[in-house]
Structure formats: structure tokens, C-alpha cells
Amino acid sequence: MKLSITKIILTDFNKKTFFGQYKKVFTAFNKDSLGFCEGAYELDSSGELDNNGNYILLVSQYPESIVQERLNRIKGITYDVIDINNF
């Protein structure tokens, strides 16, 4: 079985727009969810930064095409899909 997660880099972690980016990412994933316990969630909440000082956000789901369109509209983020194979 092959699983995929999404790695998102938020470039404005230390600026006022960070939480706007953060909320927009989850809105993009969860806009069509039906309610409690459904939709994407953050896998790593350690607050880890990359070498450039950007916040690394790991999201539990693969972004389907509609989600990719929504993510592409958010200024200041980049994302990549990470495939996770069975152990």
C-alpha cells in the first residue's frame, strides 16, 4: 500500500501573515469535509524551521487537483507530495 502526505513550506513564519497562510492551507484541504474527524490535519507540530527560517508543515493528505488549485492561490507557500511506502 502506498501513502502520500504533503510537505508545505510557509515562508512567513515570523511575520503576521503566517497564521493566515496556515489557516488557508487547512481551509484548502478541509473545505469539502463533512465535519468532525474528517479532513487533513498536521502531522508534525514541532514548529521546526528549515535552513532558511521557513516553517515546515506536514499535512496528512495528498492534495487532489481541486486542493492543488486552492494551494496554488496562497501566496508565499510551496508544497511537495511525499510518498511513504510500507515498512
What is the three-class DSSP state of 84?
Answer: strand
Query: So what's the pLDDT on residue 73?
Result: 93
Domain limits for position 57: 3-84
This prediction's pTM: 0.74
CA–CA dist 28, 73 (Å, integer): 10
What is the Cβ-side half-sphere exposure of residue 33, based on CA atoms within 13 angstroms?
A: 14
Domain count, the chain: 1
Length of the chain: 87
Does the pLDDT value for residue 60 go beyond 60?
yes
CATH code for the domain of 42: 3.30.70
What is the three-class DSSP state of 82?
Answer: strand
Report which of residues 38 and 86 the model is more confident about.
Answer: 38
Query: So what's the pLDDT on residue 69?
Result: 94
- Dump pLDDT digits (tens) for 70-84: 999 998 899 999 887
Average pLDDT of the chain, as a whole number: 78
